[in-house]
Amino acid sequence: SAVISQKPSRDICQRGTSLTIQCQVDSQVTMMFWYRQQPGQSLTLIATANQGSEATYESGFVIDKFPISRPNLTFSTLTVSNMSPEDSSIYLCSVGRGAYNEQFFGPGTRLTVL
């Protein structure tokens, strides 16, 4: 498995502001991902965080709204920009480990936008 930490664990933010979420892994990993889990829903992939290059976004997610950084193989950030109440969700990072890149998840960041 992997030891994955996220900061902050939760936050309450005002509409129109931005929040940057950090994800730290205990050892180097090739693959890192960011997911969104809306209240009472399943997980939806936002993007793949690529080290040294731009993130790869899924349909419905754009870089201007969710800029991602991946400066090295143990760290990534996701920014939720110009927030609205619809952005209230749990944001989770995950890393691929093992021969088949099984994904292990961080504890999540619980975001509430007022």
Partner 1 sequence: GQQLNQSPQSMFIQEGEDVSMNCTSSSIFNTWLWYKQEPGEGPVLLIALYKAGELTSNGRLTAQFGITRKDSFLNISASIPSDVGIYFCAGQKTAGGTSYGKLTFGQGTILTVHP
Q: Which residues bind partner 1 (CB under 8 A)?
A: 1, 4, 31, 33, 41-45, 48, 56, 58-60, 92, 94, 96, 98, 100-108, 110
Sequence-ordered list of residues with C-beta below 8 angstroms from that of 103, at least 6 positions apart, any chain: 31, 33, 94, 95, 96, 97
Closest of 107, 92, 88 to residue 39, by C-alpha:
88
Shortest CB 89 distance to partner 1, Å: 13
Report the relative pairing of strands 109-113 and 10-13 from DSSP bridges.
parallel
Provide the minimum distance between the beta carbon of 96 and partner 1 in the complex, in angstroms, as a whole number.
Answer: 5
Query: Minimum distance between the CB of residue 108 and partner 1, rounded to whole angstroms?
Result: 5
Q: Which is nearer to partner 1, 80 or 95 (CB)?
A: 95
